[in-house]
Structure 1
Amino acid sequence: MSALVHDGAAVFGRHLQKIKHAPAVVIMTQTLPVVFLLFFGYVFGSALAMPGDDYRSFLVPGLLVATAANGIMTGMFQAAQDSHRGVMDRFRTMPMSRAAVPLGQALADLLISAVGLVPLLLVGLAMGWRIDGGPLEALGAFGLLLLFRFATTWVGILLGIASQSEEAAGQLGSATFMLPLLSNAYIPTDNMPGWVRTIAEWNPISAVTTAVRDLFGNAPVPADAAWPVAHPVAGSLAWSLVLIAVFAPLAVRRYAAGGR
């Protein structure tokens, strides 16, 4: 355990230094949600039945969760980059814990993503969004966001280590932007066709989005939805813990096996 903590801290520091000297990916992933908020908030808000201010209150939690789901993309890109440039091969030759390398990356991403939520929150507040729930509920919402980000990062790390090339990881990572579109992050699921609504409500993003909206006091929990959305906090915890339990051991095993 002490080796895991020591080695994980070293990898954690390396990733922070790496991002400091090559911030392009972080800037892109943090800027896009703000652009989406401005675009969706002012363009889609006028096209939906919700009034503009109501839609922005609906939208901001969805974008916060969509940003958390981007852990798949950033985790995949960074793991693929280290894997295909020989960095992980050098780590494997060192007397260090095999779990430390992916864990250090996941923790560094968690810290950076927590800081990256601040611009989106500030722009949301400037557009009229407010936290209408209590302080404990708001802390719970932020906790769920970070837990979900940590879970999705493990998915990305596994896919990045298993990828055939950096280019393939980048293309697959870009495709993950589609995941929030098939959820309730941007639009309600009420008017979706039956089978599409079922898929959307069993999308983990929908459960976390509903939980965050409820804890922030921005929208009530729908009573006629699928179980993860009708019980959003429990559904969010269940999805996040299942993703971590499945993908973290697989990512560590894949790293230890040399990406094969």
Structure 2
Amino acid sequence: MSTATETQTRTEELAPVTTESLAELLVAKERPPRPSAWSASLTFGWRAVLKIKHVPEQLFDVTAFPIMMVLMYTYLFGGALAGSTSDYLQYLLPGILVMSIVMITMYTGVSVNTDIEKGVFDRFRSLPIWRPAVMVGYLLGDMLRYAIASVVMIGIGLIMGFRPDGGVVGVLAGVALLIVFSFAFSWIWTMFGLLLRTEKSVMGVSMMFLFPVTFLSDIFVDPKTMPGWLQAFVNNNPVTHLASAVRDLMHGDWPASDIAWTLGWAGVIVAVFGPITMRLYARK
């Protein structure tokens, strides 16, 4: 008798839930509050950081690559361009810092494209969150990578003999300006990450654009030594304004014009590519 009662009780427990009982259960519970735009963005930013934690190889481009760039350009071209590697390092390091950070912004687009291929975006679009939070989260996570690259490059520069006259304040101001511009610049690659089909396509298009923009600037040499027609492009290149501003800030000056141009370019890039990216995201 006891066994029959236990069997009946188990059968009742395993019986399918009725529509009425399920509705009562769902209605009885209050829905959690909708996350704010900032909270949702930070959550996706933390997701980007966790991806770095589980795949530490992603830090190769912000550690080994910057070190290789500083060593190679300083000791290959320092003596020929400035007469000594020490003097050239004072001019080169802020520029190489800008070049390294600007070039690794393309990995934002690569990450976006990879998540699209995996189907993760389908889940993101169904969530009741602020729509741009996913994209902003990618950019916030990459800002940590930019900060790591800056610390690595400045550290190796100090070991090699780089001496910024602006001190800690000047260095921090230069790095902050660089990260702000890189945050804005990354919106270009999020657009390409949504637009192109494969991550190889994103990298190919990015490098085709980044190489002329970074090399045709004042990162390596003073534009005054260039032909007039080339100076016209270099002097109006946003990377030139950024490199000049970072260099002057680190050496104790306050280049108001270059800072204004850099922030202006950052604002224009976000204003143009931000809406395009979100439109593509909504249609993807």
| Residues 101, 149 of structure 2: 8 Å contact kept | no
Please identify which structure carries the higher helix content: 2
Q: Look up the match of 1:226.
A: none
| Residues 150, 175 of structure 2: 8 Å contact kept | no
Q: Look up the match of 2:108.
A: 75
2:226 is matched with which residue: 192, 200, 207? 192
Q: Look up the match of 1:56.
A: 89
| Residues 167, 252 of structure 2: 8 Å contact kept | no
Aligned equivalents of 2:84, 2:149: Cα separation in 1: 28
Rg bigger for which structure? 2
| Residues 25, 74 of structure 1: 8 Å contact kept | no
Identity rate of aligned residues, in percent?
Answer: 33
Q: Look up the match of 2:52.
A: 19
Aligned equivalents of 2:55, 2:69: Cα separation in 1: 24
Q: SS of 2:100's equivalent? A: helix
Aligned equivalents of 2:40, 2:254: Cα separation in 1: 44
Aligned equivalents of 2:203, 2:260: Cα separation in 1: 33
RMSD after superposition: 2.1
- Does residue 101 of the first structure (1) align with residue 127 of the second (2)? no
Write the letter of the residue equivalent to 1:151: A
Aligned residues, how many? 250
Gaps of 5+ in 2: 1-33
Structure 1 residues 220 and 92: CA distance shift in structure 2, 3 A: closer
| Residues 66, 152 of structure 2: 8 Å contact kept | no
| Residues 66, 149 of structure 2: 8 Å contact kept | no
- Does residue 253 of the first structure (1) align with residue 268 of the second (2)? no
Write the letter of the residue equivalent to 2:95: G
Aligned equivalents of 1:80, 1:62: Cα separation in 2: 29
| Residues 62, 145 of structure 2: 8 Å contact kept | no
Aligned equivalents of 1:236, 1:12: Cα separation in 2: 25
- Does residue 204 of the first structure (1) align with residue 238 of the second (2)? yes
Length-normalised TM-score, structure 2: 0.81
Q: SS of 2:105's equivalent? A: helix
Aligned equivalents of 1:62, 1:250: Cα separation in 2: 30
Q: Deviations over 1:14-69 (max 9, x none)?
A: 11111212233331243212101000001111221443211101110001111231
Q: Look up the match of 1:123.
A: 156
How far the C-alpha of 1:85 sits from its partner, in A, is: 2.1
Write the letter of the residue equivalent to 1:53: S
1:90 is matched with which residue: 100, 123, 132? 123
| Residues 183, 203 of structure 1: 8 Å contact kept | yes
- Does residue 5 of the first structure (1) align with residue 31 of the second (2)? no
Q: Look up the match of 1:227.
A: none
Q: Look up the match of 1:181.
A: 215
Write the letter of the residue equivalent to 2:52: I
- Does residue 147 of the first structure (1) align with residue 180 of the second (2)? yes
